Structure 1
Amino acid sequence: MVEKLKYEWLNQPGKNILAGIVVALALIPEAIAFSIIAGVDPMVGLYASFIIAVVTAVVGGRAAMISGATGAVALLVVPLVKDHGVEYLLAATILMGIIQLILGLLKVGRLMKFIPHSVMIGFVNALGIMIFMSQIEHIFGIPISTYICKCNITHCIYNSKIF
């Protein structure tokens, strides 16, 4: 076990250091963006990304495994942070980790092969649309409700056949 760890960690130090720097530089804007989407201070996202990287390095990951924040989780925790604050975010994150460990031990991941490809594509597309819509207020400085109201009015006028 120790020999395996020595080999994995010390076999190619130059490549490992370069890979770590590249991943860290790519992770910074992602962590900041997802923390803004989640409604928390960007420093919270940076700290969380650092902790994830350290835990993954110690526990071990797999080749091409991505360990970091995700847009889906960022969108799901928005109501939690708005209603209860960042303190509950830590508790929810620990609970999510425990649930993932239990599901992993039960090998529930095998059931993923039964989810159709079109459902996965729909999920990813809807996630992208929701992330975009959550950022409209930050991009233009106008609340999303203004755009929704304008779209509804335009839709009603178009379907009324008056014009």
Structure 2
Amino acid sequence: MLDTLLMPFTFTFMQQAFLIVLLVAIPTALLSCFLVLKGWSLMGDAIAHSILPGVVIAYIFAIPYTLGAFAAGMFCALSTGYLKENSRIKEDTIMGVVFSAMFALGLVLMTKVEVGVHLDHILFGDALGVDWADIIEAAIVAMLVVLFAVFKGKDL
């Protein structure tokens, strides 16, 4: 019985998928606690949806997807903060409008750009399609987030 349950882990792609999911769970769990405590639960969803245009643009310019996603996520967060400070609209409404607009822009870009890869995997996720470079990148990001939380967590 135990052999049957562990059989999928004899394949390299399953080992990589398990490892990437484990590594991604660390920073997302840690950061989501701060977001919930600050009352910014919608912010995680907003940034997750807003990275799509950054990924498509990163593909167009042949730069790492992570840089495009980071830039788009920062744009979403900063524009939300700017609009909150300079308008009378509630913050959750602003987040909904900003991330919906960015997600729509990403979908339009994704359908209009001829791509050689399936950007749908970015949109829906594909843990079985990762390689060791992705795992190393996820480990570095997880380590940076943990170090930031340890040394700057009180400031948050």
TM-score by length of 2: 0.38
TM-score by length of 1: 0.37
- Higher RCO (CA 8 Å, separation ≥ 6 residues): 2
